[in-house]
């Protein structure tokens, strides 16, 4: 299905589109997916001209967990002096952080298909091969040590979400005390490869121009809003598209319908 969507993008934009068939979890543990995408990106940047592509005009793109991978690869490339710089990144309702799973969008869209709040964490835990029995404790914030909470609150906080995105309902949630055992087990969830929003300022400041799409009825909406703020705070140009009636998966489903129509 994604190959069809990529073919559609290729036709409509008159551009070369590379679809990476990266290994999937849980058969291939984290971070195999990121490593495959990074390897593919590096190879293409080195050989772009062989495909009729200007290496200074390469854009990386992904939606949902693919948006996570695209963001992580873009971050991994910022200090590569041996490669052309990415022209831009396109992030479509990406998952970007696991510090706070009670942001306004998580509360408002907890039961909105297709990505329910609990399903989001189930998929995340499977991705990093953690016990699903941790779900309740992670929702309560027991996986975030006091040191991490202090460090990340300047990047991940409901205070950074504009008021208009809280009008559908938001109740600040009490944070449970961290569990040393759970904090240790959940260490991989704070890796910027898993949570790109947690990358250091020195990395964020070097990222390319960004197109960011968020949907109102999506638990991941606020991840996008927080990343938008971080990028803009560092002077990165962000083109933001917010679908007020959109939900997680909207773009893929819409494009898939068009692709089917195109093929028929």
| C-alpha span between 248 and 180 (Å, rounded) | 33
**Using the 8-state DSSP alphabet, how is residue 85 labeled?**
P
Does 218 qualify as catalytic in the annotation? yes
Query: Would you kindly state where each structural domain of the chain is located, as residue ranges?
Result: 2-263
Quote the tokens at residue 135.
Answer: 């779900």
Catalytic residue among 36, 218, 222, 223: 218
Classified by CATH at the fold level, domain 2-263 comes out as: Rossmann fold (3.40.50)
Read off the pLDDT of residues 49-87 as tens digits, 9 standing for 90 and up.
Answer: 999 999 999 999 999 999 999 999 999 999 999 999 999
| C-alpha span between 7 and 171 (Å, rounded) | 43
In this structure, are residues 96 and 71 in contact, taking their beta carbons and an 8 Å threshold? Answer: yes
| C-alpha span between 230 and 196 (Å, rounded) | 11
Arithmetic mean of pLDDT, 28-40: 97
| pLDDT for 65 | 96
Residues in CB range of 19: below 8 A, 6 or more apart: 2, 3, 6
Catalytic residue among 64, 105, 145, 179: 64
| C-alpha span between 93 and 218 (Å, rounded) | 8
| C-alpha span between 163 and 160 (Å, rounded) | 9
Read off the pLDDT of residues 153-176 as tens digits, 9 standing for 90 and up.
Answer: 999 999 999 999 999 999 998 878
């Amino acid at each position: 299905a994604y190959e069809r969507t990529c073919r559609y993008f290729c036709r409509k934009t008159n551009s070369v589109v590379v679809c990476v068939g990266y290994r999937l979890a849980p058969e291939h543990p984290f971070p195999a997916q990121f490593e495959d995408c990074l390897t593919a990106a590096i190879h293409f940047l080195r050989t772009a001209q062989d495909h009729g592509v200007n290496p200074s005009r390469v854009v990386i793109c992904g939606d949902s967990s693919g948006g996570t991978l695209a963001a992580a690869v873009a971050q991994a490339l910022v200090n590569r002096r041996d490669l052309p710089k990415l022209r831009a990144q396109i992030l479509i309702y990406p998952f970007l952080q696991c510090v706070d799973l009670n942001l306004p969008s998580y509360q408002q869209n907890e039961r909105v298909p297709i990505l329910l709040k609990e399903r989001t964490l189930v998929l995340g835990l499977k991705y990093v091969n953690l016990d699903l029995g941790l779900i309740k404790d992670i929702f309560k914030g027991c996986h975030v040590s006091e040191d991490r909470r202090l460090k990340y609150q300047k990047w991940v906080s409901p205070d950074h979400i504009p008021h208009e995105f809280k009008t559908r309902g938001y109740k600040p949630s009490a944070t449970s005390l961290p569990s040393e055992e759970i904090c240790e087990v959940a260490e991989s969830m704070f890796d910027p490869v898993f949570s790109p929003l947690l990358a250091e300022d020195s990395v964020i400041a070097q990222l390319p121009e960004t197109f960011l799409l968020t949907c109102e009825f999506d638990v991941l909406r606020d991840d996008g809003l927080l990343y938008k703020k971080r990028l803009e705070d560092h002077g990165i140009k962000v083109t933001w598209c917010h679908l007020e009636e959109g939900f997680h998966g909207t773009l893929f489903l819409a494009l898939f319908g068009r692709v089917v129509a195109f093929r028929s």
